[in-house]
Amino acid sequence: MRRQDGMAENDELRALRPRVGMLSGLFAIAAVIACGVGVQSVLAGACPTCTGLLSVVLPWAGAAMYSGLAFLAWRSPESPWLTHAMGFYVFAHACLVTEAVLLQRVCIGCLVIAGIALLSGGVVSLRVRSARLTLALGLLLGVVAGLLYPFDRLEDSLTRRFWPSRILERAPAFADRKELSDCGHSAPVRFIVYEDERTCRSCSSVGRRLIPGLSQEFPKDVCIHKHELKDPPREQILPVILLMSRESRLVVVEGLPSYEELRDLVRKLLAETGSSPGPPK
């Protein structure tokens, strides 16, 4: 029975031979485009979809993978590894595209590579019947995983660990980098606000709507730094609130959030650092 199953599988893989050139060509095109995205990430600083360390790593990793698959499809079109790899790259691209759409961070190059990957998976599953379930599961699980933002969290953690200067680049140009790096206080979370000096004393100011609640609810957990901008950039939405945790986690908020939203952000940052809010005054 096993022999018959093996023969049937080999027959399916041999049926892929007429499409060897197409499959190998698709992988080669994906590798070339991935190299282009990698070069753009190095020159421009980041890919729109992956803004951290992954923006440097993923394009080159994809180029290496698709180059290897192009060679494998050309030399050994009956290799079962073509089916195994298809499950991985379909899942990965479905996850990345889902996240990019949800986060509204779309890279044309990444979308083109994802389309080629899906087309390649279709070519494989068209001839290898057993690969159709792999293709469907890869798509479904990738979309579901994308809803949970695993790559977004992963790139943020890797960037904080291996590329901390990249975190500070997300802050506006007028933000004091030295203050972001170390303010001299022992509080696990820094609250830094930049506000137009014309509105900083109004009823809608951060000083009147947000800071009193923070001081009362997080007296030892949040240190507060308030700045007034005399000549803010014209296109900059103010106020700008920077929340920086002890683990170099930076959250930038443009505009005036509600106190409930700000409180939830502070609690999340404290939880990530392993701290719990102290008793209010």
pLDDT in tens, 159-174: 666 666 566 677 888 8
Instruction: Please tell me which residue, 260 or 154, carries the higher pLDDT value.
Output: 260
Whether 18 has a pLDDT exceeding 70, the answer reads no
Does position 99 have pLDDT exceeding 70, yes or no?
yes
User: Mean pLDDT: which of 23-32, 142-151, 175-184, 232-241 is highest?
Assistant: 23-32
Per residue in 49-64, pLDDT (tens digit) is 665 566 677 888 999 9
Model confidence pLDDT, tens digit, residues 192-230:
999 887 776 666 678 888 999 999 999 999 999 999 888
Residue 245: predicted pLDDT: 85
pLDDT-derived band at 16, boundaries 50, 70, 90: very low
pLDDT score at 263: 92
pLDDT for 63: 92
Query: What residue ranges define each of the domains in the chain, with the CATH number in brackets?
Result: 2-161 (no CATH), 172-272 (3.40.30.10)
- Arithmetic mean of pLDDT over the chain: 80
Per residue in 70-80, pLDDT tens?
999 888 888 88
pLDDT of 191: 93
Q: Which of 6-10, 40-44, 76-80 has the highest mean pLDDT?
A: 76-80
Write out the chain in H/E/C secondary structure: CHHHHHHHHHHHHHCCHHHHHHHHHHHHHHHHHHHHHHHHHHHHCCCCCCCCCHHHHHHHHHHHHHHHHHHHHHHCCCCCHHHHHHHHHHHHHHHHHHHHHHHCCCCHHHHHHHHHHHHHHHHHHHHCCCHHHHHHHHHHHHHHHHCCCHHHHHHHHHHHHHCHHHHHHCCCCCCCHHHHHCCCCCCCEEEEEEEECCCCCCCCCHHHHCHHHHHHHCCCCEEEEEEEECCCCCCCCCCEEEEEECCCCEEEEECCCCHHHHHHHHHHHHHHCCCCCCCCC
pLDDT at 14 exceeding the cut of 80: no
For 129-151, write each residue's pLDDT tens digit.
Answer: 888 898 999 999 988 888 876 55
In this prediction, residues 239-260 reach a mean pLDDT of 85
Rounded mean pLDDT, 31-37: 91
Cβ proximity of 176 and 193 under 8 Å: no
Q: Residues 6 or more apart from 278 whose CB is under 8 A from it?
A: 218, 219, 220, 221
Is 16:23 a contact under the CB 8 Å cutoff? yes
Q: Residues of 125-134 as b/e, b for ≥16 C-beta within 10 angstroms?
A: bebbeebeeb
